[in-house]
Amino acid sequence: MAIEPKSNLNMASIIPDSIRLPLDAYLRTRSAVDFLSALPGMLQISENPGSKYNSTVMNAMVLYVGMK
């Protein structure tokens, strides 16, 4: 991505440290493969259909990774 998307939000503040810190480590080293398999469970908020994952954190994470 050549140009960072304009946003007034700090994506890092939306993502909990329990996800952001391992994500940063993974992006730096690409070696913690177990993080990728654990990520869906970290984003899960409920077993109920239609509200299984925290979409706010998921979207913030996509933008955060895209800006890295």
Gap between the Cα atoms of 61 and 67, Å rounded: 10
Residue 59: both structure tokens together: 């979207």
Across the strands, what pairs with 44? 53
Q: Give me the pLDDT at residue 61, please.
A: 93
Residue 43 near residue 54 (C-beta atoms within 8 A): yes
Domain boundaries, the chain: 15-67
Quick count: other Cβ atoms within 10 Å of Cβ 58? 14
Question: Whole-model pTM?
Answer: 0.76
> Residue 5: its pLDDT value, please?
62
Q: What confidence tens digit (pLDDT) does each residue in 1-56 have? A: 566 666 667 778 899 999 999 999 999 998 878 999 999 999 998 777 777 899 99
